[in-house]
Amino acid sequence: MFKKIILLLVVVLSAFCSVGCNKDEKVTVGILLTATHSALDNAKEGFIEALKANGYEDAEFVVKNPEGDSTTMNSMATELIRKSDIVLGIGTPAAVALQSARDAEEIDITILFTAVTDPVSAGLMSDVNKPTDITGTNDMNPVADQVDLILELAPGITKLGVLYNVAEPNSQVQAEMVKAQAAKKNVEVVVKTVSEAIEISAATTALIQTEKVGAIYLPTDNLIAANMPAVGAVADELGVPTVAGESGMVAAGGTITYSINYKSLGYLTGEMAAKILGGTPCSEVPSTSVDATGLEVAINDSSIEKLGIEVPQSIKDKLNK
C-alpha cells in the first residue's frame, strides 16, 4: 500500500512539472496581430526573440493577421484560443478579441497583450498591478513630451490638430492627453475622427485648409498607422508637420516623434510569457512597460526637407543622446 502511495505521488508531481516546468515539451504560442504596420510587427519580433532566448526556441509560433477586419479577427482569435498553450494579442483590438473568444469558449488559457495603450479602459484588466489570467505591456506614449516636441520644432503654433479612428478607445485617451498638455501651452486643439481608411486624406486636408491647424498630432492608432503614407503626403504637400505616436509612423510618412521602442516592448512581453510558461502564476506578473531608456527621438528627413523646416539644435541634441 505504501509503495502505491509513493508511486501515485511521483505520477502527480511529474504531471505538475510537465505543465509549468518542462521547456523540452513543445508549446504552441498563438499570436494575433491587429493589422500590419511597423510598430506591431516589431513587437511581434521582440516577443518571439525573447521566448527563444529564454529556452523556448522550439516553440511553435502560430501568427494570425486579419488586417483590421473585425469579423476575421474574431474567427482567428477563436482558432488560436482553441489550439494554443498561451496567446498574445498585439494591439488593443486583437487583445480584446482573444479575451472575448476565451470567455465564449470557456477555455482556461493565459492571455498576454502588447502595444495596448490603456488595458484598464479597454476592459482587459481592472488593475494593472493585480492581473488574474491576462497581463502584458502597455505602449502609453509620452504624449505631453510629444506635444512639446512639435511646438519646439514649429514654434508659434496656436492650433493643433488631432486625427484618429473613432473606434479606437486608446486613441481617444491620447486625444484627451493632447488637449490637457496643449492647454498648458495656450494652444487650441481641433479633433477630426475617421472610421475607415478612405476618409483619412480628406480629414487631413480639412484640418489644414478648413481648421487652419499649424501641426497635426497622430496617436498610436492602428488605422492611422497603417495609412501613414496618405497622411504624410497631404500634410507635407500643404506645409504642415505631423508628430506621431511612435517612430514607425514617422518612418512611414510622419515628421517627428519621441516614442518607445516597440521591439523592446515586445521583448519585455516575451520575457513575461516565458515566466508564465515556466510556472509563475499570471497573477504574479503585473502589467508594465519599457522604462525611459527605451524612448527615442525619430525624425523623417524627407518630410523635414519638403516642409522646409530647420530642426532646432535642442532637438538635434536629443537625437544624439
Write the pLDDT tens digit of every residue in 136-165.
999 888 899 999 999 999 999 999 999 999
In this structure, what is the dihedral angle of CA atoms 34, 221, 240, 248, given to the nearest 10 degrees? -50
Looking at this protein, which amino acid is placed at residue 135? T
Higher pLDDT, residue 185 or 292: 185
Q: What are the b/e assignments for 89-105, b being 16+ CB within 10 Å?
A: bbbbbbbbbbbbbbeee
**Mean pLDDT, the chain, as a whole number?**
90
Task: Say if residue 12's pLDDT is above 70.
Answer: no
Task: Say if residue 239's pLDDT is above 80.
Answer: yes
Query: For the range 54-57, what are the long-range contacts, defined as Cβ-Cβ under 8 Å and sequence gap of 24 or more?
Result: 54/270, 54/271, 54/274, 54/278, 55/23, 55/274, 55/278, 56/23, 56/27, 56/29, 56/274, 56/277
Tell me which DSSP letter residue 288 carries: B
Confidence of residue 17 (pLDDT cuts 50, 70, 90): very low
Identify whether the C-beta of residue 82 lies closer than 8 Å to the C-beta of residue 30.
Answer: no
Task: Say if residue 3's pLDDT is above 50.
Answer: no
Q: Which three cell numbers stand for residue 277?
A: 510558461
Q: Which of 10-19, 124-133, 143-152 has the lowest mean pLDDT?
A: 10-19
Report helix, strand or coil for 117: coil
Task: Note the maximum CA span of the chain.
Answer: 87
Looking at this protein, which amino acid is placed at residue 110? T
Identify whether the C-beta of residue 71 lies closer than 8 Å to the C-beta of residue 15.
Answer: no
Task: Say if residue 10's pLDDT is above 90.
Answer: no
Set out the domains of the chain in order of their start, with CATH numbers.
19-139+261-292 (3.40.50.2300), 143-260+296-319 (3.40.50.2300)
CB-hemisphere CA count at 13 Å for 308?
3
Listed residue (274, 218, 224, 252) closest to 48, CA to CA:
274
Per-residue model confidence as pLDDT tens digits over 187-235: 999 999 999 999 999 999 999 999 999 999 999 998 999 999 999 999 9
Listed residue (250, 239, 185) closest to 212, CA to CA:
239
